Amino acid sequence: MAGVGAIDSELLGGLFATVPMCAVWSDGARLQAMLDFEAALARVQSRLGVVPHAVGEAVAKAARAEFYDPAEIGRKVPLGGNVAIPLVKELTARVEGEAAGFVHWGATSQDVIDTGLMLQAREGLNLLRADLVRLGDACAALTSAHRATPMAGRTFLQQGLPTVFGLKTASWLESVERLILRIDGVIEQSLALQFGGAVGTLASLGPHGAQVRDELAVELKLHAPAVPWFTTRERIIEIGEAVGAVAGIMMKIAGEIVLMMQTEVGEVFEPAAPGKGGSSTMPHKRNPVGAATARAAALQAQARAAALHSTMDQPHERATGGWQAEWGLVPELFVLTAAALQPLVTVLEGLEVRADRMRENLEMTKGLVFAEAVMMKLAPKTGRAVAHHILEAASKLAIAEDRHLKDVLKADKAVTAHLDAREIDGVFDPLGYVGSADVFIDRALGSWRDARAEDVG
């Protein structure tokens, strides 16, 4: 069945999957995560005297994924409806001596599967976090290099006012930093042990249930919620929303790169490489293939994140459908998000910025992007409403007669009554009307530096 989906396709996997993230969510990793739960459970129960002392070592010895055939276990999954049932049977068969009778002691299938998922999610989140740090470093470098590179700020895809490219990348930087903080919060609060036995009471462990549960959480370095959470799945949603947010921001950044790479705009370009971005028929093309791949992967990832919300309706103490749907949605969400993030790291680390083209595009409107700047210069003398009316009329005249706004204003007595030619010329400096951009850039860069210093600490 390999190759049906884009993620595991030999043809498409290079676009929609990354090797490290696929390794985290592979069949072998899924088995190992569940076996890690079983080994930890046996160690804790042996240490507490709930089961014979030798059980912990015996189970841990057998709890290695390479001992088990995923295909063989998979053939048995439809009979029990989940992978834990055949896995526990094979684990029990491999454990030597009387210890075999204490495998999976007091646990249920969902304990194994949910906790295994949390262990895998922790690895996946840390992978995303590492790539986000690289992406943020690339954004910070661009922000520092282009804090004084003027360009057109665009609203509704049309030129609005002058800005600087460094402010745009600073906004990307702050989003990346917030994504990292969100991932950190999920790792701290949402990655939780699942251990409740048949219906969440751990009745089979008698008076030892709560203690075993608490010690098991410590053993696996997972949060221990007050009660088992079999059918209250907001933790899964919190993980999904954090990963989905990463995909969403990747789509946004990639989308802006695509727009700025348009022939008519030409302000940035993805780093060149032999054979990259070409067309099968148009030799001159330089396509934004990295950004396009990121957007395609992000779109698919967000569909999985949205679908996770619909799995929350899980009745009573065990689900019929919603829980099972998570088994495919969560891994695919992680893999697709990693595939959206990785190409953007490469793109931003080598992004070609055409500052000259940005300046040319600012001149495209023949000064109209400075209309507000002139209005605000004139407003203290005429009042804002009057100044707005004067500049609106002047802008329409400049468009109608295909003249530079500066020339129209110098011939307008309503303007020259308050501003001389030198003052008018001064308003048309792109870096003279970028407001607090420098301050905002400093704040974004400072926050990023502080956060990375905390990482090192």
H-helix or E-strand spanning residue 372: helix 371-382
Q: d(Cα 104, Cα 109) in Å, to the nearest integer?
A: 9
Task: Give yes or no for a contact between 375 and 409, defined as CB atoms under 8 angstroms apart.
Answer: no
The candidate with the shortest Cα–Cα distance to 114, out of 221, 233, 205, is: 233
Q: Beta strands of 147-200 (E only): which ranges?
A: 150-155, 158-164
173-184 core/surface letters (b: 16 or more CB in 10 A; e: else): bbbbbebbebbe
Helix (H, G, I), strand (E, B) or coil at 302: helix
- 422 catalytic residue (yes or no): no
Cα 407 to chain centroid distance, Å, stands at 48
Q: d(Cα 169, Cα 34) in Å, to the nearest integer?
A: 42
The candidate with the shortest Cα–Cα distance to 238, out of 112, 121, 130, is: 121
Helix (H, G, I), strand (E, B) or coil at 440: helix
The candidate with the shortest Cα–Cα distance to 293, out of 350, 351, 331, 337, is: 337
Catalytic residue among 144, 204, 279, 310: 279
- 64 catalytic residue (yes or no): no
264 phi and psi angles, rounded to 5 deg? -70, -15
Task: Give yes or no for a contact between 132 and 448, defined as CB atoms under 8 angstroms apart.
Answer: no
Q: How many CB atoms lie within 10 A of CB 171?
A: 18
Distances (CA, A) of 30 to 59, 105, 120: 18, 20, 7
The candidate with the shortest Cα–Cα distance to 245, out of 329, 289, 181, 318, is: 181
For 254, half-sphere exposure in the C-beta direction (CA atoms, 13 angstrom radius) is 27
Catalytic residue among 318, 357, 359, 403: 318
Residues with a known catalytic role: 279, 318
